[in-house]
Amino acid sequence: MDDFWSGVGVDLHLEPDAAAGRRAGLERALRDAVRDGRLAPGTRLPATRRLAAELGISRGTAKAAYDQLVAEGYLTARQGAGTEVAALPSASLETRDGDARTRAPRFDLRPGSPDVGAFPAAAWLRALRRAIATAPSLAYDYGDPRGRIELRTALSGYLGRARGVIAPPERIVITSGYVQGLALLTRVLDGGTVAMEDPGLPFHRNVVRRGGASVVPLPVDERGACTEGLGTESAVVVTPAHQYPTGVTLHPERRRALTDWARARGGLIVEDDYDGEFRYDRQPVGALQGMAPGHVAYLGTASKTLGPALRLGWMVLPPHLVDAVADAKLHSDHHTESIGQLALAEMINSHAYDRHVRTCRLRYRRRRDQLLDRLGPRWYVRGIAAGLHALVEVPDESAVLARAEAEGLAVGRLGNHWHASAGDGRAERDGHATGDERAAGRPQGIVVGYGTPRERVYPEALEVLGRVLDT
């Protein structure tokens, strides 16, 4: 018989085996719950009196079961502190998949993440309190798939003044990050061919393919994406502010050529405003969307400025795509969670978001400068004018990565970013050549992210990086 009981901070479903007797059945049910992980270490269990009342047994039976599990090491009991689940040795716990977790590197210089330790917890909490205090009751109900009007209005003003985006609130759709926005656009395009930068992020290419579109490479040189090769593609995905992973900025002539292509062909430009807020040695580069708002879908997120855990992103769409994308969003997850949207809107309107971005810009510039000082003139470092990563050209990627792994240092590999490389899922499925085979004659390098490490470990990580490169 199924029983439900509630205690101090815990509700748990138990299935005591009545055939084994009340005490033995309770012992086995609790023991199994601890072994399976349903009762986590430190969970406080209900008092024996309450447990007995919930299960319809005597208090003595409940106490005897607790005492037995304390003796076996599954529970701990302290006078005045109650009974809690003990922390068992990891070897005694069964894992769901039986595989050991991958050991984390000692020093993480992989690109793609900010310093999450710099999350503005106090400012976020203040914004959250103000947002909740003033939120209408309907904010806790199902909402508009485009997102809360408060955030769309706040973003309209912020993106216009900070990134040069023409962003009426009615053309903004809030998403759960960039990847969802890219997936929604691919679904709305309903197949076709999408040009994506080469090199670029393999995961993003796979997102587009899973949406039913074909992907063709768009070469990148020192002036950014090479627009000369564009033809009948239905869309092109670019990172004009700070290309990933080369770090170049799309040249003004290429920008004009790209928007001319979109107007002439009726194609869609998907602008990933990657690292758009972080620039150091140059004047701010406005978003491409401002040049052709009717042909550009602008995508941005709070993942680099605040943190990926928030899962807050946005799209500014051409008018003819708004309804279709909103419908796709509705049938994807209905809408992005609302409370975080209200908090972000409050941060933007109070300018706490601007202050945080400026603080981060100074922190990351300092880190960039430390990276350059450590590597010195011996190494050619690219893409350093903006963003959270740099590309260091090396003569032999494999040798450098082997030394880095031996030192417990994690960095990105440029070779994995080429189309049909070993890091690209299509290469293995279609039997294409590996990254090393296809990269003959291409630059080799490592992609170093200086946003990820905490402040206290960053200098040591740079020392290890320098030692690996100088060996």
Helix/strand/coil percentages in the chain, nearest 5: 45, 15, 40
- Closest by CA to 328, choosing from 141, 149, 209, 182, is 182
pLDDT at position 159: 96
**CB under 8 Å to 39, separation ≥6 — which residues?**
10, 12, 30, 33, 45, 85
pLDDT at position 20: 75
- Closest by CA to 106, choosing from 336, 406, 422, 320, is 406
pLDDT at position 258: 97
DSSP assignment of 21-73, as one string? -HHHHHHHHHHHHHHHTSS-TTPBPPPHHHHHHHHT--HHHHHHHHHHHHHHT
State which residues of the chain have pLDDT below 50: 1-9, 90-101, 426-438
Q: At what angle do helices 458-470 and 397-406 cross, to 10 degrees?
A: 130
pLDDT at position 48: 84
In the chain, the amino acid numbered 90 is: S
Contact 83, 70 (CB under 8 A): yes
pLDDT at position 13: 66
In the chain, the amino acid numbered 54 is: E
pLDDT at position 145: 97
Tell whether pTM > 0.75: yes
Q: Which residue has the tokens 């909740």?
A: 132
What domains can you pick out in the chain, each with its CATH number? 3-92 (1.10.10.10), 120-354 (3.40.640.10), 359-470 (3.90.1150.10)
